Structure 1
């Protein structure tokens, strides 16, 4: 039994079901031409297989893909592969489609003469330097293939797509929100201690990494809750000032996320604050 077509979006995009029972979106020139639901896919025409990730609805995902020019899907896929996202594997479907959709929209804005400023540029540069560097390479590769190149500022949203690729959620709005929260937390730290905190230090990088995965845990309902009561008491006693600051960060996170933090999460926030403060004072 071959791969069965479930829905034809256009001449080049179809929704299909594999032998294993998984729904996938297939693209390829003429793949959907005169095809009907129930037909077997012509495998020789398949150029790319897109897998709906993170619980995405296959129909909605397929409709999004069908609305993107196929040459931009191919360009996004090739640019991500050539730039080396650092994962050692091909970029996921959500990342490729998200980038292609962004390029398509950016080109349309460019044609209409609409300029957009990205207010999170400084935060992205501080918080995600590796992703921003990769985004710069992606943008360079994309522009090499476009008749009218995109402006350098487009590296910022591309970087956020790359950040988003490392998380359990395919919703880019979560990444935008996370980045804004990070900036707010560093503002709290700097106001509390009346001094700047360098985001490029090792301990700041550890703190950011912890927060990034905290967002994943919070989004999936899996906050740290190992019953580390004694450890928490010892850390609070050893770093009372850092604990007081961690409580301020807790208040911001709970307000922005709409859910309470566990004691273990606050304990680890305290540890990271203490490390960064000690580093500044050293």
Structure 2
């Protein structure tokens, strides 16, 4: 591989075997080098392959950031992938890396942000939140900077965003609050407290995560068998009435039209979690 552009002493751009632009990182990989020179294989620590539309944005980001911060961001993302056991949208290399840089700058200036969604994130996206807490540990170990639990919540949201491939951080930030509102609709409709230590509750939360994801990305279930859907809905009239209230809320909040099959699944989940309370 040859150097196309030297971003800084530790990061250069190049082309892979398919002529796609890549970013190559390694200690001193660009030091005293010139455009067109061969990249020393022994110095390569990481190769980033970004979508063409985001490549220049990522290059600008790593060009300006300290090398150790970029390495830490990459370590956090790698830990998230391993923990979740799935691929993440590559934009996380931009969004999380940029957030890390921003958080460290704020910390240096003595500025702290309170995460208003921290309670909801910890409750509804606990795995991602634990990854966020691990990110705080990694930052402390590698950079000797202690960030707050609020920042763990922000890192968790970036992971949720990349995990669910939402593409818009503002939409990802809306999701925990929407899930909380839906649970409150169920509580107030039936006048109950939901037992959170049940499998039915866990399944409902999992369903709500994907339901809200479909809403923010404006996707919906196709209704393949209307008769079956109606038969299931008719079995649980009270739960269906609650599902309709959720539909009305989603229409008002998100301008999202909840289809009949989606209503059926909501109805079935609601019936399970309130069954023992009625």
Matched, 1:13 2:11: yes
- 1:200-237 superposed Cα distances (whole Å, 9 cap, x missing partner): 53222212222322344455554210413112101221
Q: Is the 8 A contact 1:99 1:158 kept in 2?
A: yes
Q: Supply the distance in 2 between the matched residues of 1:40 and 1:240 (Cα, whole angstroms).
A: 70
Any idea what SS the aligned residue of 2:23 has?
strand
C-alpha deviation, 1:122, in angstroms: 1.2
Match among 61, 67, 70 for residue 64 of structure 1: 61
3-state SS, counterpart of residue 59 of structure 1: helix
What is the alpha-carbon distance in structure 2 between the residues aligned to residue 263 and residue 22 of structure 1? Answer: 45
Distance (whole Å) between structure 2 residues aligned to residue 150 and residue 263 of structure 1: 45
Q: Which residues of 2 match residues 100-139 of structure 1 at below 5 A?
A: 100-139=97-136
**Maintained 8 Å contact 1:3/1:18:** no
Closer, same or farther: CA 239–40 of 1 in aligned 2, 3 Å: farther
TM-score (norm 1): 0.82
Shift of 1:265: 1.6
Contact 2:81 2:88 in 1 (8 A): no
Q: Counterpart of 1:27? A: 25
1:103-182 → structure 2 map (5 Å cutoff): 103-182=100-179
Q: SS in structure 2 opposite 1:144? A: helix
Of 209, 222, 226, which residue of structure 2 is paired with 1:225? 222
2:83 corresponds to 1:86: yes
Q: What is the deviation of 1:144?
A: 2.3
Residue 242 to residue 106, structure 1, CA distance change in 2 (3 Å): same
| TM-score normalised by L of structure 2 | 0.83
Query: Which one of the candidate residues 264, 267, 272 is aligned to 2:264?
Result: 267
Residues 1:103 and 1:47: Cα distance change in structure 2 (over 3 Å): same
Q: Distance in 2 between matches of 1:200 and 1:248?
A: 25
1:235 paired to 2:225 = no
In the alignment, structure 1 segments of 5+ residues that lack a partner are none
The answer as to whether partners of 1:85 and 1:134 remain within 8 angstroms in 2 is no
The offset of 1:176, in angstroms, is 0.9
CA contact (8 A) 2:14 2:24 kept: yes
Point out where structure 2 has 5 or more consecutive residues left out of the alignment. Answer: none
Q: How far apart, CA to CA, are the structure 2 residues paired with 1:280 and 1:24?
A: 57
Aligned residues: 277
Maintained 8 Å contact 2:223/2:259:
no
| Counterpart residue number, 1:277 | 274
Q: Does 1:191 align with 2:188?
A: yes
In the aligned structure 1, how far is the partner of 2:164 from the partner of 2:34?
36
Match of residue 52 from structure 1: 50
